Copies of this chain bind each other. A is one copy, B any other.
Amino acid sequence: MKRKISATLAVAFVCSVGYALSAQQSEGPQYAAGTNRLLRPDAYREWVFLSSSIGLNYPPPGAPAGPQRFDNVFVNPSAYRSFLKTGKWPDKTIFVLEFRNVGSETSANRNGRFQTGLQGIEAEVKDSRFPDGWGFFGFGTNDKDAAPLAGDTVQRCIDCHSAHTAVERTFVQFYPDLFDVAKRMGTVKPNYTDP
Chain A interface (Cβ < 8 Å from any Cβ of B): 1-7, 9-13, 16-17, 20, 45-46, 48-49, 51-57, 65, 70, 72, 74, 77, 80, 100, 105-106, 109-118, 174, 176-177, 195
- Enumerate chain B residues within 8 angstroms of A3, measured Cβ to Cβ: 4, 6-7, 10
Task: State which of B13, B20, B45, B109 has its C-beta within 8 Å of the C-beta of A9.
Answer: B13
Min Cβ gap A4→B in Å is: 5
CA A104 to CA B194, docked complex, whole Å: 12
Beyond known contacts A9-B13, A114-B174: 20 more, CB 8 A cutoff:
A3-B4, A3-B10, A5-B13, A9-B10, A10-B13, A16-B16, A49-B72, A49-B74, A52-B52, A52-B72, A53-B114, A54-B54, A55-B111, A55-B112, A56-B114, A65-B112, A100-B176, A115-B176, A116-B176, A117-B176
- Enumerate chain B residues within 8 angstroms of A49, measured Cβ to Cβ: 45, 49, 72, 74
Closest 3 CB pairs of A and B: A56-B112, A49-B49, A52-B52
Residue of B nearest to A179 (CB): B116
CA A28 to CA B9, docked complex, whole Å: 27
Min Cβ gap A130→B in Å is: 28
Task: State which of B10, B13, B105 has its C-beta within 8 Å of the C-beta of A2.
Answer: B10
What are 16 inter-chain pairs, A to B, with CB distance below 8 A? Answer: A2-B7, A3-B4, A3-B10, A5-B13, A12-B13, A46-B48, A51-B114, A51-B115, A52-B115, A55-B111, A56-B113, A65-B109, A65-B111, A100-B176, A105-B195, A114-B174
